[in-house]
Structure 1
Amino acid sequence: MMARALAALLLLPTAAWSQQDSIPQSLTGQPGDATRGRAIVANRTVGLCLLCHSGPIPEERFQGNLAPSLAGAGSRSTQGQLRLRLVDAARLNPDTIMPPYYRVDGLTRVAKNFQGKTILTAPQIEDVVAYLATLKD
């Protein structure tokens, strides 16, 4: 049921998204785990978040500065807004360089072994949302 609801939401025309800045419901129907989410954000082979973002993960060196800091993300955005940015940030900003972590359609230059696969799974998205929501100013 959740997958169908998400699919319907993602298929809305871009104009409809101008009125929706979030995906309010969990992709899995369950809350994520912030500890697992932090591990995904810090992992340079899974999420690659720190390639562009910096964050309150002091043990990770060489954090990015191309995108906003993740510090305070939970104060700036709701969980639904964080979820949409992870699923497909281009729905909010067509010029973003952030990859769509949970979209497979309409992509270009995708290696064959990654075609039809999302970067993160629905549970991983929820884990990252849970972690980012803990980052308050």
Structure 2
Amino acid sequence: MKLATLTLAATLVTGAAFAAEIAPSDVQFDEYGAVDQSLTGTPGNPEEGEKIMTNRGLGNCVACHEVSALDYAAFQGNVGPSLDGVADRWNEAELRGILVNAKKTYDGTVMPSYYRVDGFVRPGNAYTGKAADDSFGPLLTAQQVEDVVAFLGTLEYEE
């Protein structure tokens, strides 16, 4: 009972800081492009992350990246690096930062910024500079980003 009470108290104290979803414009990056704080305060679901990575209407990560664990996903790409062992190369904060805005870590990358809504140069003057309040929301929701981070966290090199 004592452990349950302590766990509940710790959750209430730390959970209050994460109660609200972080808006794309409020995401805080460290000097290397990592995002330490969860965007939702809710752990990601690796199963949902896998669906997002393979769904053409969502993340479609396999269009550019190879992931051996997703051998059922046909026509995996080779534009980006293989994601095999990605959890051994980057920590959760680094993976989140790359998903939110890869350009913070890799200047000049062609990887989409999945949780960014401003600062784009879009084709045509009617679209350049438009932000989320102009109906251009992020490519993925905050929870979808957390789900993909959770899935990527499962991709370790086999020993």
Cα distance, 1:123–1:91 mapped onto 2, change above 3 Å = same
Identity %: 40
Tell whether 2:55 aligns with 1:43: yes
Deviations 1:65-123 (A, max 9, x none): 011111111111100000000000001122100010000010122696x8521000000
Q: Does structure 1 residue 94 correspond to structure 2 residue 95?
A: no
Q: Which runs of 5+ in 1 are unaligned?
A: 11-16
Residue 123 (str. 1) matches residue 143 (str. 2): yes
Looking at structure 2, the residues matched to 135 and 116 of structure 1 have their Cα atoms a distance apart, in angstroms, of: 31
SS of 1:88 mapped into structure 2: helix
- Higher Cα Rg, which structure: 2
Divergent runs of 4+, >4 A: none
2:83 to 70, 80, 85: 70
Q: 1:30-86, CA deviations, whole angstroms, 9 ceiling, x for partnerless residues?
A: 110000001111112211211110112011111000111111111111000000000
Structure 2, unpaired ranges of 5+ = 1-19
- When residues 135 and 110 of structure 1 are mapped into structure 2, their CA distance, relative to the original with a 3 A threshold, is farther
Question: Over aligned residue pairs, what C-alpha RMSD do you find?
Answer: 2.2
Q: Which of 28, 40, 43 pairs up with 1:31?
A: 43
Q: Distance in 2 between matches of 1:34 and 1:110?
A: 35
1:22 to 18, 24, 34: 34
Of structures 1 and 2, the one scoring higher in RCO (CA 8 A, sep 6+) is 1
Residues 72 and 8 (structure 1 numbering): CA distance in 2 closer, same or farther, change over 3 Å?
A: closer
The alignment covers a number of residue pairs equal to 129
Superposed counterparts of 1:49-68, under 5 Å: 49-55=61-67, 56-68=69-81
